[in-house]
Amino acid sequence: GQQLNQSPQSMFIQEGEDVSMNCTSSSIFNTWLWYKQDPGEGPVLLIALYKAGELTSNGRLTAQFGITRKDSFLNISASIPSDVGIYFCAGLFTGNMLTFGGGTRLMVKP
Amino acid sequence: EAGVAQSPRYKIIEKRQSVAFWCNPISGHATLYWYQQILGQGPKLLIQFQNNGVVDDSQLPKDRFSAERLKGVDSTLKIQPAKLEDSAVYLCASSLEYPQGWGTGELFFGEGSRLTVL
């Protein structure tokens, strides 16, 4: 089946630093999404991207849909302690089957 | 607006026992999903319903897992008999049906039901 590879697997940064993470696949997708999961909670949608090359922002978060449709990245600027959590990319090709990556665990040191 | 409701939040059982999880989606959401999330991994789709019909259950271990969505609203996921490797968080999610019948990937998740099999 389709697999999404996220990197890095974990990051430990200082508050105020910028963060960058990405997601790659051997398959193409029509939609890329980024979710965040806090401990003991379900994932929450952060950003959805629907067109190759699209760059979308949501506050301090910026995500891009790769031109090849096989990758996406997420940037977080000026990180704060509440950014701590696990960030998942997810891809959708056809129909409704959403595939998730393995996640990037972000830890922020105040 | 009420979110996706799941119960129980936690369940501990012995292997070979059975367990059932319940989910109530957001009102008006036609599509309902059950995902399995093993510790340290991303969610994996088990089954997807559109109203009360199954859209995809290709990754559901049908010898031990079953799910139903009666009347196109609430859903239950059952495991019988449970194995040690079934220890995971079971996430229920729902979404609106896109007018053209294509999903947008914009899912709303519940808090999950954490299963521990001893």
Q: How far apart are CA A100 and CA A95, in angstroms?
A: 15
- What are A89's strand-pairing partners? A34
Do residues A41 and A59 lie in contact, with contact meaning Cβ atoms separated by under 8 Å?
Answer: no
Question: Which residue does chain B place closest to A46, by CA atoms?
Answer: B106
Q: What is the CA angle B91-B96-B102, rounded to 5?
A: 100
Q: A-side interface with B, Cβ within 8 Å?
A: 1, 4, 31, 33, 40-45, 48, 50, 88, 90, 92, 94-103
Binary contact (B55, A42; C-beta < 8 A):
no
Binary contact (A99, B102; C-beta < 8 A):
no
Alpha-carbon distance values, B78 to A66, A103, B73, B102 (Å): 39, 27, 17, 28
Give residue-wise pLDDT tens across range A25-84.
998 998 999 999 999 999 999 999 999 999 999 999 999 999 999 999 999 999 999 999
Smallest CA–CA distance, residue A79 to chain B, in Å, is 23
Write out the two tokens for A55.
């760059």
> How confident is the model at residue B99, as a pLDDT?
52
Q: How far apart are CA A65 and CA A69, in angstroms?
A: 7
Q: What is the pLDDT along chain B (118 residues), one digit of tens a residue?
A: 689 999 999 999 999 999 999 999 999 898 999 999 999 999 999 999 988 899 889 999 999 999 999 888 999 999 999 999 999 999 999 998 765 555 678 899 999 999 999 9
Residue with tokens 């990051």: A11
Q: Which of A92, A97, A100 sits opposite B42 (nearest CB)?
A: A100
Please enumerate, as own/partner, the contacts of B43-52 that have beta carbons within 8 Å and a separation of 24 or more.
Answer: B43/A43, B43/A88, B43/A100, B43/B91, B44/A100, B45/A97, B45/A98, B45/A99, B46/B77, B46/B90, B47/B77, B48/A96, B48/A97, B49/B75, B50/A96, B50/B97
> How confident is the model at residue B98, as a pLDDT?
61
Q: Has residue A3 got a pLDDT over 90?
A: no
Q: How far apart are CA B68 and CA B62, in angstroms?
A: 12
Q: Which of A90, A96, A101 sits opposite B31 (nearest CB)?
A: A96
Binary contact (A43, B109; C-beta < 8 A):
yes
